[in-house]
């Protein structure tokens, strides 16, 4: 029976405070704050009255939407957080026990290959304890294993339609991706870590995601973050998180082991889980009084050749592994048993070692919400997959199952070993790890009598490896190879150790390089890291090509520690043999004469990632140019991999184009629709220009050579007297002046084709707000208005500072953040509506002047000679227009300075407010302010570059694929979490010069629409197709939509109506346009430009937009302005 504990009743004033906060998240937040200040008696009362009632984060979700329906709260001190967790788990102990029982049933069904029964057990779990992250992750894995990709994708779709919270959908999606056969666990984890590194999320959520998706536990001292976040799941999810933290802390002997062990002790009184008893035994051998169950060893003995084959099937995951060991042969990969056997078969062969371990890692990750999956994960590392490699790992293994297993038992210290042998009722049987850990204390003859000949020989080799002479090790290696029929890990170790003792490190390195070049998988069996650390102490010639090759294998196997040494070794080799670059070295010989070492050195070592920090190159372009040439050399040197090197060279060129495109887009955002302006000019002012030419030819108005010279001399001297520029007041001069002003005004203010239209499209309409708001939103310093026009509470910082500040201070700080939000948005609005405008009577603060001075008119008259064509005049007018815009540079600089000063003041006021509330605290908030201020001021400064006159981009020639990727990178600059899966189907289309701006505007608009309206703003699936038509180039973009609401359909129809009646031109100019009308404007829809159609399909949940660009317009862009 659980012991009775005396609980102190919470103080009445505290209970009344919590009751007064209602029954929602604020009540729970207040109770947590009180518990952090010492009022821990409030915890059991809160659990009973809020959690059990289901008002807040019920640990038995009553419906799918209830799982993870509340925000994650900031973590408290570990002791307090554990008390919350233990109290909740004790209260929900029946649900936990039911979940543990069904977990075991699911594992048993999977071991037996019974997929349908495993799914039925998962159904029973959901029915009995409510939906949980554990059941969702496991169900997706079971469906993938027994039903394939489509089965688990259908489950994912069903889950989304059930209305589960966004966090649950997020986890389910990544579990689904993780389970796909096309991705390895290593690649998945690496890509996911890269994505997670840029996410701007709380540390609690980051820790929770790392645990749920990567099964990575927080470092010592941060366990409270995971436990806090796990409160939002079901009871079984919280229990698994607490147990994982405790197991790791105790196994690694962390400082937090004691407090976590005490929590396990309390849980053990109510939850009968043998793993809790094992944890407590591991922490304190004298604490456990109950007898622990010993794992069956019949299959293990059979696997080691010291027992007959059992008649009964394997009873657990350890038995399943043991059964597979003596039966290594290719097998189907359908059930868990078959896939484990397949993986172990691969590991047993030198060439398949890496693939086999990758398969085990994949299986372990898929089922990481079950103890069975964690057991598999711990058995996929280097060495025999049935062995523990160090005591810490053995202790972790010991805690993963409910039975005492000989593999982990043999590695424990004598005190714990003795105690556990007593608790299991008999001595532990002999096992592989028992041999490795205890062989020095046992007589070889005694062991040999109980082992198979192969195992006996391997044991002898292990015993002699450390100090046997080189000749003996060579003999052992030969005997091992003869017995097994092929080199093994142990025989390679013997041969390498003997070679090092007899001939030194350089010879050992040469041996490793020979073997790895013949079979790269052998790198897993060689002690590369230990050998690499000896290189510095050896006098190995720098001209020895083996050193950079060996270090490359080592860096690939063991990571960043050896990467710098690899770079230095490669650089030293190139310089020592008399070359200056790898390509220069390759050029000294014929490609067809290259040996394996040269091919590997040039192909694998001399890559940009390795040589980026080398002194052989001064710029990235130099490095890439050398590598492209080297790839061409390698195509001839290594014909088997010619396709790979050809693709690498092509990718380097493409990446360079994308980088150049991004650099070009970071410059000016000013532009003119020069083709349509030319058409307007021919229609409106060409007749006046021809009349002016007639007047010039009739001699009515002439400017002699002396006047021309005086004007140019005055301009060159920099001093222009107004009298020197006076032009006779006659009909011709007046006509030309009016003509010039009309053209320049149209250039500036045309609502569809002029500069103001592009200011709207490229800066004022959304881009500026996203550019300046983005850095602030990433730091959670700014909120948005609600339907009533008031700024919402800043829940992020309220929650993060709740344990540090009182309610009055939090409320005051929230008001300061709201005031900051209003001031910051007001400044953006003023910058948009007043400053980034063409100066006029209506916009006196506009920073861009487009009104030509009398001096400029004089210059234009001087520049246009009799007989010049209208096209010449138009081209010169454009040049003079940008001259006028350039004259606004000082005004723009003053305007930007004024905005910068006001923005800086906003941040300083908020910083003062934070300091007044928390003079010595709120460090994370103050750090966020510093980061956001720097990014915001830098963002304002970049606007000056946006407003500079454009330079031609006609020399930049990009493919459609490159243009799409440039636009995608631009969008990621505004939305860092946007990491879509883009599928391209691009027909044979030519590369296009001068169209970067056009395509950037088009695809930025499309991608931003997806971010805002798809319901999956981080990783939607986007399909882009492009094909050639008779006189048009066609594009189709599809994206998945999470859910389609009535307001979504209404928005699409509203956009359709706006485009159909042509009013989109006015709306876009007035800064009120949305994505689709803006797209219509960019492609010239309805004005002799492209076509546009779009659909939102409710059945398939696909939004598709199809548009076209007229070839003649693209060609005109290619020959003119970008």
Pairing mode, strands 992-993 and 981-986 = unpaired
pLDDT in tens, 1073-1091: 447 888 888 887 876 678 8
Q: Check the CA dihedral 149-151-154-156 and report its sign.
A: negative
Residue 449: the pLDDT is 45
Residue 1070: the pLDDT is 36
Instruction: Decide if 1016 contacts 1009 (C-beta within 8 A).
Output: no
pLDDT category, 993, cuts 50, 70, 90?
low
Q: What is the Cα–Cα distance from 756 to 790, expressed in whole angstroms? A: 32
- Please give the structure tokens belonging to residue 83: 């008390």
Residue 348: the pLDDT is 64
User: For residue 1028, what are the β-bridge partners?
Assistant: 1033
Instruction: Decide if 553 contacts 586 (C-beta within 8 A).
Output: no
pLDDT category, 452, cuts 50, 70, 90?
low
pLDDT top residue among 1041 and 12: 1041
Q: Which residues, 6+ apart, have CB-to-CB distance to 874 below 8 Å?
A: 678, 681, 743
Q: Indicate the range of 189-203, 314-328, 445-459, 783-797 predicted with least confidence.
A: 445-459
- Please give the structure tokens belonging to residue 512: 């490793």
| Alpha-carbon distances, residue 903 vs 127, 588, 814 (angstroms) | 55, 60, 19
Instruction: Decide if 855 contacts 721 (C-beta within 8 A).
Output: no
The mean predicted confidence, pLDDT, of the chain is 78
1095 φ, ψ (degrees, to nearest 5):
-140, 150
Q: Indicate the range of 320-329, 348-357, 1003-1012 predicted with least confidence.
A: 320-329
Q: What is the Cα–Cα distance from 1105 to 577, expressed in whole angstroms? A: 58
Pairing mode, strands 1032-1040 and 1102-1110 = antiparallel
pLDDT more than 90, % of the chain: 15
What own/partner pairs with CB < 8 Å and gap ≥ 24 does 266-270 have?
266/86, 266/90, 267/86, 267/89, 267/90, 267/239, 267/242, 269/2, 269/3, 270/2, 270/89, 270/90, 270/93
Residue 1064: the pLDDT is 75
Instruction: Decide if 779 contacts 771 (C-beta within 8 A).
Output: no
What is the spatial order of strands in the sheet that 1102-1110 belongs to? Answer: 981-986, 1021-1028, 1032-1040, 1102-1110, 1092-1097
Instruction: Decide if 810 contacts 802 (C-beta within 8 A).
Output: yes
Maximum Cα–Cα distance for the chain, whole Å?
A: 124
Highest mean pLDDT among 12-21, 281-290, 840-849, 854-863: 840-849
The 3-state DSSP class for residue 496 equals: helix
Q: What is the Cα–Cα distance from 1077 to 212, expressed in whole angstroms? A: 42
Residue 23: the pLDDT is 53
Q: What is the dihedral of CA 785, 789, 790, 793, to 10 degrees?
A: -30
Angle, CA of 359, 363 and 366, to the nearest 5° = 135
- Please give the structure tokens belonging to residue 380: 């996929």
Q: What average pLDDT does the segment 861-879 reach? A: 80
pLDDT in tens, 348-405: 666 666 777 888 888 888 988 988 888 788 766 554 444 444 667 777 777 777 777 7
pLDDT at 289 over 50: no
Q: Domains of the chain, with CATH numbers?
A: 1-56 (no CATH), 89-272 (no CATH), 298-427 (no CATH), 461-665 (no CATH), 674-946 (no CATH), 957-1119 (3.30.565.10)
Q: What average pLDDT does the segment 486-501 reach? A: 86
Q: What is the Cα–Cα distance from 725 to 341, expressed in whole angstroms? A: 94
| Alpha-carbon distances, residue 594 vs 321, 545, 901 (angstroms) | 45, 13, 63
Highest mean pLDDT among 21-35, 786-800, 1056-1070: 786-800
- Please give the structure tokens belonging to residue 672: 């003119």
Q: What is the Cα–Cα distance from 778 to 874, expressed in whole angstroms? A: 46
State pTM to two decimals.
0.46
Q: What average pLDDT does the segment 881-910 reach? A: 89
Reported as type and span, the H/E element at residue 129 is helix 115-129
Highest mean pLDDT among 403-407, 1013-1017, 1102-1106: 1102-1106
Instruction: Decide if 783 contacts 791 (C-beta within 8 A).
Output: yes
Token look-up 């400044």 returns 827
Residue 709: the pLDDT is 53
Q: Indicate the range of 125-134, 246-255, 969-978 predicted with least confidence.
A: 969-978
DSSP 922-971: -HHHHHHHHHHHHHHHHHHHHHHHHTSPP---TT-EE-HHHHHHHHHHHH
Report the residue count for the chain. Answer: 1122
pLDDT top residue among 992 and 1052: 1052
Q: What average pLDDT does the segment 854-874 reach? A: 77
Residue 700: the pLDDT is 59
Q: Indicate the range of 117-126, 533-542, 696-705, 840-849 predicted with least confidence.
A: 696-705
Residue 573: the pLDDT is 94
Instruction: Decide if 75 contacts 35 (C-beta within 8 A).
Output: no
- Please give the structure tokens belonging to residue 269: 């009184």
Q: What is the Cα–Cα distance from 672 to 576, expressed in whole angstroms? A: 56
Residue 108: the pLDDT is 86
pLDDT at 863 over 60: yes
Q: Measuring CA to CA, which residue among 521, 529, 457 is closest to residue 494?
A: 457
pLDDT category, 194, cuts 50, 70, 90?
confident
Instruction: Decide if 758 contacts 765 (C-beta within 8 A).
Output: no
Q: Which residues, 6+ apart, have CB-to-CB distance to 733 below 8 Å?
A: 701, 727, 861
pLDDT more than 70, % of the chain: 78
pLDDT category, 136, cuts 50, 70, 90?
very high
pLDDT category, 584, cuts 50, 70, 90?
very high
Q: What average pLDDT does the segment 305-316 reach? A: 71
User: Distance from first CA to last CA of the chain, Å, rounded?
Assistant: 81
Token look-up 């007035």 returns 1070
pLDDT in tens, 918-948: 877 777 888 888 888 888 888 888 888 788 8
pLDDT in tens, 218-233: 998 899 999 988 888 8
């Amino acid at each position: 029976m659980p012991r009775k504990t005396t609980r102190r009743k919470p103080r009445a004033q505290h209970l009344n405070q919590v009751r007064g906060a209602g029954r929602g998240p604020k009540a729970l937040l207040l109770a947590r704050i009180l518990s952090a200040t010492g009022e821990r008696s409030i915890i059991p009362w809160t659990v009973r009255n809020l959690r059990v009632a289901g008002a807040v984060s019920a640990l038995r979700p009553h419906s799918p939407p209830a799982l993870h329906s509340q925000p994650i709260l900031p973590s408290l001190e570990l002791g307090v957080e554990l008390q919350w967790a233990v109290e909740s788990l004790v209260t929900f102990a029946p649900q936990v026990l039911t979940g543990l029982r069904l977990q075991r049933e699911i594992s048993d069904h999977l071991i037996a290959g019974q997929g349908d029964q495993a799914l039925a057990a998962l159904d029973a779990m959901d029915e009995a304890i409510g939906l949980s992250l554990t059941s969702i992750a496991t169900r997706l894995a079971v469906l993938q294993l027994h039903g394939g990709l489509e089965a688990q994708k259908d489950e994912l779709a069903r889950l989304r339609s059930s209305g589960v919270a966004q966090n649950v959908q997020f986890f389910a999606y990544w579990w689904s991706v993780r389970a796909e056969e096309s991705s390895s666990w290593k690649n998945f984890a690496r890509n996911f870590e890269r994505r997670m590194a840029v996410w701007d999320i709380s540390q609690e959520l980051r820790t929770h995601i790392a645990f749920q998706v990567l099964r990575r536990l927080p470092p010592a001292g941060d366990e409270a973050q995971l436990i806090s976040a796990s409160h939002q799941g079901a009871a079984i999810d919280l229990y698994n998180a607490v147990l994982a933290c405790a197991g790791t802390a105790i196994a690694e002997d962390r400082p937090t082991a004691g407090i976590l062990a005490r929590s396990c002790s309390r849980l053990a009184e109510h939850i009968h889980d043998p793993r809790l008893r094992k944890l407590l035994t591991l922490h304190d051998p004298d604490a456990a009084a109950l007898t622990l169950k010993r794992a069956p060893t019949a299959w293990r003995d059979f696997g080691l050749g010291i027992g007959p084959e059992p008649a009964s099937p394997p009873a657990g995951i350890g038995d399943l592994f043991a059964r597979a060991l003596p039966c290594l042969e290719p097998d189907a990969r359908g059930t868990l048993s078959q896939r484990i056997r397949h993986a172990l078969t691969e590991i047993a062969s030198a060439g398949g070692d890496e693939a086999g371990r990758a398969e085990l890692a994949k299986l372990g990750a898929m089922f990481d919400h079950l103890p069975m999956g964690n057991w598999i994960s711990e058995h996929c590392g280097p060495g025999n997959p049935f062995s523990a490699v160090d005591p810490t790992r053995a202790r972790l293994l010991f805690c993963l199952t409910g039975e005492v297993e000989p593999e982990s038992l043999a590695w424990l210290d004598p005190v714990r070993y003795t105690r556990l042998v007593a608790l299991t009722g008999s001595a532990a049987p002999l096992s592989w790890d028992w041999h490795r850990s205890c062989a020095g204390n046992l007589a070889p003859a005694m062991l040999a009598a109980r082992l198979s000949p192969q195992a006996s020989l391997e044991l002898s080799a292990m015993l002699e490896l450390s100090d046997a002479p080189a000749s003996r090790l060579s003999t052992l290696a030969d005997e091992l190879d003869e017995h097994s029929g092929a080199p093994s890990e142990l025989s390679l170790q013997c041969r390498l150790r003997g070679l090092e003792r007899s001939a030194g490190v350089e010879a050992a390195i040469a041996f490793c390089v020979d073997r790895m070049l013949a079979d790269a998988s052998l790198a897993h069996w060689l002690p590369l890291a230990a050998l690499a650390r000896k290189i510095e102490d050896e006098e190995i010639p720098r001209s020895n090509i083996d050193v950079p090759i060996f270090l490359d294998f080592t860096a690939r196997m063991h990571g960043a520690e050896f990467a710098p040494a690899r770079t230095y070794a490669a650089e030293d080799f190139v310089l020592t043999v008399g070359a200056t670059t790898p390509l220069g070295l390759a050029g000294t010989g014929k490609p067809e004469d290259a040996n394996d070492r040269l091919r590997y050195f040039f192909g694998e070592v001399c890559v940009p990632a390795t040589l980026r920090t080398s002194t052989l190159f001064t710029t990235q372009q130099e490095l890439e140019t050398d590598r492209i040439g080297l790839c061409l050399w390698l195509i001839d040197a290594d014909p088997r991999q010619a396709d790979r090197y050809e693709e690498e060279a092509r990718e380097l060129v493409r990446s360079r184009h994308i980088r150049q495109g991004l650099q070009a887009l970071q410059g000016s955002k000013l532009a003119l629709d020069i083709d349509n302006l030319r058409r307007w000019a021919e229609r409106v002012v060409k007749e006046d220009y021809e009349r002016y030419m007639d007047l010039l030819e009739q001699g009515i108005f002439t400017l002699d050579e002396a006047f021309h010279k005086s004007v140019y001399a005055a301009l060159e001297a920099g001093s222009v007297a107004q009298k020197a520029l006076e032009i006779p007041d006659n009909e011709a001069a007046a006509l030309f002046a009016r003509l010039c002003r009309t053209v320049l005004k149209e250039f500036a203010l045309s609502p569809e084709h002029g500069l103001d239209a592009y200011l709207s499209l490229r800066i004022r309409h959304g881009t500026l707000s996203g550019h300046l708001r983005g850095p602030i939103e990433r730091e959670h310093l700014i909120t948005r208005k609600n339907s009533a026009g008031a700024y919402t509470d800043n829940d992020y910082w309220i929650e993060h500072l709740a344990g540090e500040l009182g309610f009055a201070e939090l409320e005051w700080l929230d008001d300061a953040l709201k005031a900051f939000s209003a001031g910051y948005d007001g400044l953006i609005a003023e910058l948009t509506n007043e400053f980034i405008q063409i100066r006029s009577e209506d916009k006196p603060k506009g920073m861009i002047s487009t009104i030509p001075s009398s001096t400029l008119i004089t210059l234009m008259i001087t520049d246009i000679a009799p007989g010049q064509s209208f096209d010449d005049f138009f081209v010169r007018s454009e040049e003079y227009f940008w001259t006028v815009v350039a004259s606004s540079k000082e005004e723009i600089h003053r305007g930007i300075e004024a905005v910068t000063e006001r923005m800086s003041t906003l941040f300083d006021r908020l910083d003062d407010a934070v300091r007044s509330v928390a003079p010595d605290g709120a460090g994370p908030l103050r750090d966020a302010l510093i980061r956001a201020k720097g990014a915001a001021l830098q963002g304002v400064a970049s606007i000056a570059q946006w407003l500079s006159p454009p330079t031609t981009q006609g020399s930049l020639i990009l493919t459609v694929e490159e243009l799409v990727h440039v636009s995608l990178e631009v969008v990621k600059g505004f939305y860092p979490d946007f990491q879509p899966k883009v599928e391209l189907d691009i027909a044979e289309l030519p590369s296009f010069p001068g169209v970067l701006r056009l395509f950037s505007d088009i695809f930025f608009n499309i991608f931003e629409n997806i971010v805002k309206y798809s319901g999956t703003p981080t990783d939607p699936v986007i399909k882009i197709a492009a094909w050639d038509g008779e006189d048009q180039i066609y594009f189709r973009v599809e994206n998945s939509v999470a859910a389609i609401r009535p307001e979504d359909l209404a928005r699409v129809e509203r956009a359709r109506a706006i485009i159909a009646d042509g009013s989109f031109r006015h709306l876009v100019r007035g800064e009120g346009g949305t994505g689709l009308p803006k797209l219509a404007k960019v492609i010239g829809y309805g004005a002799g430009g492209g076509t546009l159609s779009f659909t939102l399909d409710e059945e398939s949940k696909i939004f598709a937009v199809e548009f076209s660009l007229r070839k003649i317009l693209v060609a005109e862009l290619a020959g003119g302005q970008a």
